[in-house]
Amino acid sequence: MTIQLEKLGRFGFLTLPSYSMIAAANAIEALRMANRVAGTAAYSWQIVTLDGHAAAASNGLMLTPCAMLSAADRFDIVFVVGGVDVRNAVDRNVTAALRKLAREGVALGALCTGTFALAEARLLHGYRCAIHWENFSAIREEFPDVDFVEDFYSIDRDRITCTGGIAPLDLMLTIIQARLGRRVASQIAAQFLIERGRAADERQPKQASATSNTAPRRLAEAVRLIEESVEAPLSTEDVARAVKISTRQLERLFRRHLGISPAAFASATRLDRARALLRQTAMPVTDVGIACGFTSASHFSTAYRSRFGHAPRTERLDRAAAAPRADHRAATRDKREDHHV
């Protein structure tokens, strides 16, 4: 089934515990403003949870009124709104409810980390999907059958997935334009003091790094190559050759702008990726090391301890202690690996 954006009118927002308030608010406000600008009730929306009780967002606030999902009116699309610690917010009841909606032919969407809920429910196999850049590497490792992209949002058949922050506003402007036209979408953008809605395939701006607009082009290219080759790390010579400068020039660029060598940057990038995988997935510690380019478990453990002050297994155990329901099995399994890592 392919979504016809112009026919979307009834929106449900399934808010998970610790969901992103800014993501939900931007989506809903765009719909509200569309009705105001168009002078007609083109859109309706409802906040829902599984039990009908309002969920607390990550900022501690709640959106009300809130209805029970099973008792709500039929929606054209239901967006799962995720936030921090989404793994602990998604249980069997959530995945079962999402599968039921899919069987009933309801289109499904996700805001911020809500994409994880759809993936966990096995509803994204073969789909092109977006998720916040902070969670990108971890979820891609965990669900290799899903085509995760670094775009602001993605519309693929009957799935609409979007990153967090203000990106849901961009998504909604696209949906609104399909139904109410470019003029209405432009008026909404003007009301919200933005120049335009960003296109779906515009890439998310990541954490401030050498890829910023002020970085030399060769350096930005080198950083991108290093970040994209974590599983099979490139040597400094390989990177220099790929960006068409000498190894010495590459060394100078990294030291001048980042204060470290290309090799040190690559090592830090791999270890930061490993830390994200340990915190955000249930992958075994040894698999995390392999996914981050460490062929030796002892090398992975030594490098991790040097950067973060503790072994990889300790990272997993500390997280499991804070969230025992989601990570008990992973922590138990990793304990058996302790003599390897």
Helix axes of 182-191 and 167-180: crossing angle, nearest 10 degrees: 150
Q: How far apart are CA 237 and CA 240, in angstroms?
A: 5
pTM over 0.95: no
**CA separation for the pair 85, 146 (Å, rounded):** 21
pLDDT at 340 over 50: no
Query: Tokens 């062929």 — which residue?
Result: 295
pLDDT at position 138:
80
Lowest pLDDT segment from 75-84, 223-232, 243-252: 223-232
Say if residue 154's pLDDT is above 50.
yes
* pLDDT higher than 50, residue 151: yes
| Domains of the chain in sequence order | 5-191 (3.40.50.880), 217-336 (1.10.10.60)
Strands 153-156 and 159-162, by their bridges, are: antiparallel
**Contact present, 224 and 206 (Cβ < 8 Å):** no
Contacts (Cβ under 8 Å, ≥6 apart) of 111: 13, 20, 23, 24, 27, 79, 80, 81, 82, 162, 164, 168
- pLDDT score of 338: 42
**Residue tagged 């220099």 (tokens):** 240
Name the one residue in this structure whose structure tokens are 């204060």: 259
Per-residue model confidence (pLDDT) at position 128: 95
| Contact (Cβ atoms closer than 8 angstroms) between residue 274 and residue 304 | yes
Is the pLDDT assigned to residue 291 strictly greater than 70? yes
Chain segment 238-262, per-residue pLDDT in tens: 999 999 999 999 999 998 888 889 9
Task: Return the bridge partners of 64, or none.
Answer: none
Relative to beta strand 147-149, strand 107-111 is unpaired
pLDDT digits (tens, 9 = 90+) for 89-146: 999 999 999 999 999 999 999 999 999 999 999 999 999 999 888 788 788 888 999 9
**What is the band of 334 on the pLDDT scale with cuts at 50, 70, 90?**
very low
- Contact in structure between 159 and 1 (CB atoms under 8 Å): no
* Average model confidence (pLDDT) across the chain: 88
